[in-house]
Structure 1
Amino acid sequence: MATSGDSAPDFTAPLANGDIESFTLSERLEDDAPIVLAFFPGSFTGVCTDEMCTFQDRLANFNDLDATVYGISRDTPFTLNEFRDQNGLEFGLISDLNKEIIDEYDLEMDFDDLGVYGVAKRSVFVVDGDGEITYAWVSDDPGVEPDYDEVEDAVEAAA
């Protein structure tokens, strides 16, 4: 599992930002770092919606620290754009439809009782301009949200 001190696994995936474009982590580090990667199991679910809306509510704080927030889930980029629109999210959401990023970060979680497999564990990583993970939080409980103050503190330390 990716953890603090590791080099962040690089990836290229679709970015839903009102449009759809290609996103490569290593190419975004120079301009966007520190980068917050907030993995969530799925759009339009209670806790995931609360989490992404809380990041939106705190977006000005991250912007003040020159940090960039991205959400990541297995949803299609089209679903993610609709999720952004319905919740007024101003940050990009990355589609990991093929589960490649989840595998690289070792974050796979299943909901056996629902027949849902291979979604992301709720987790947050802060990546600095050198591509190092300076903060890692991973929850095995999908109902637990991150400590947002702790994430902001980690971003401030990485800035």
Structure 2
Amino acid sequence: MPEFDVVDLGPADAPEPGAEAPDFTRPLVTDEFWEDRSLAALTDDGRTILVFTPMIGSFVGKYVWDELVERGWDDRDATVVGVTASTPYAVSQFLDENEYPVAIFADPANGVADAYGIAHDLDGMAGVAEPRLAFVAVDEERTVEDVWVATEWPEFPDYDDMEERLGLA
């Protein structure tokens, strides 16, 4: 088990269930290509679950995507997409190396996490921020259905509970 300190992230200001999810357009990356897509375009196709992870090479990001792919979240009754503060190049390489059948929004300036109230500054790194781990379920009209946000680093949800909460069980 790696040794690390648990860090209190403080309160988040994530959208509440029933609120309209902030729309955004960013490169949506797969292991083959990327293209600018908006959240609104994804929700036009149905329910969407945004999975915010720290920078793509972090152990938290890797652990979360390993878990979600193993559980088959890429083949559920919702579009599951990631959001990370990494470049499209880094996301594409990460997806290719791990053979993940998912798409992840590249948001290197962390604007989406800021808009969702879940960005946090990295300790000891002036001007560097990333999203905290969070799950946001959004319906076809971009209404937030459910939200789970980490309050400390590292913190992971109970995935069985999360599947139940998000209607993925």
TM-score by length of 1: 0.88
Q: SS of 1:106's equivalent?
A: coil
2:36 and 2:54 mapped to 1: Cα distance?
21
Structure 2 equivalent of residue 12 of structure 1 = 25
Does residue 121 (structure 1) correspond to residue 132 (structure 2)? The answer is yes
- Alpha carbons 2:74, 2:102 under 8 Å: kept: no
Identity of aligned residues (%): 26
Aligned partner of 1:63 among 68, 72, 75: 75
Structure 2 equivalent of residue 45 of structure 1 = 58
- Alpha carbons 1:124, 1:146 under 8 Å: kept: no
Give the helix-richer structure, 1 or 2: 1
Q: List structure 1 segments (4+ residues) > 6 angstroms apart after TM superposition.
A: none
Structure 2 equivalent of residue 91 of structure 1 = 102
Change (3 A) 1:145 1:101: same
Provide the aligned C-alpha RMSD in A.
1.8
C-alpha offsets along residues 34-88 of structure 1, whole Å, 9 cap, x if unaligned? 21101011112212201011111122x5624x21111111100110011111222
Aligned partner of 1:30 among 44, 69, 77: 44
In structure 1, runs of 5+ residues without a counterpart are none
Does residue 104 (structure 1) correspond to residue 118 (structure 2)? The answer is no
Aligned residue type for 1:151: M
- Alpha carbons 1:126, 1:154 under 8 Å: kept: no
Aligned length, in residue pairs: 154
- Alpha carbons 2:85, 2:131 under 8 Å: kept: yes
